Amino acid sequence: MEVRPNPTADNSSITPEHRQRNTAVSSAKKPAATPNPVDTSSVSQRLQKELMSLMMSAGDLGVSAFPEGENIFTWIGTIEGGKGTMYEGLSYKLSLRFPLDYPFKPPQVKFETMCFHPNVDQFGNICLDILQDKWSSAYDCRTILLSIQSLLGEPNPESPLNSYAATLWSNKEDYKKMVHKQYFAGEACES
């Protein structure tokens, strides 16, 4: 289809202010574009599958997690300290908050139990690449918990959130004493 200019329409007498006002009126009549709604049902389904998978396999791995109450987007996780690590015999509670655009964005994961570690700050925040810039939608809750469990025994003192823990890491005996001191002090506070 060919479009030809209309010789009878003479727009030369329309002022720039009038054109601007007409443009504003016509754009005001258009409905505002709504962002695409998030499909929470598909996220809920994925989290249900992850929960089932975790329940079926993770007990023997020393990690577990379950939704907190009725909200599928908020979980409580547990990590057992790995054998042969400074954390052996200790059990840590974590909170996991899954965003509505999970698995395209990582969950917020924090230690709820006091944890003395180079990559964990005093508020329980965790410095772990897969929870930040190295996140992949292929990861799941089980992967996250196992990665954090592994981090306990193999910290990255080069990227510390707790610089005191990072400097103490080389002195295994003092480090282990501090791990136990903070763990049991936190347990006493929770009681």
Which of the residues are catalytic? 127
- Decide if 105 contacts 132 (C-beta within 8 A): no
Angle at 115 between CA 177 and CA 68, to 5 degrees: 145
How many of the other CB atoms lie within 10 Å of CB of 39? 11
Token pair of 19, please? Answer: 């054109």
Terminus-to-terminus CA distance in the chain, angstroms?
79
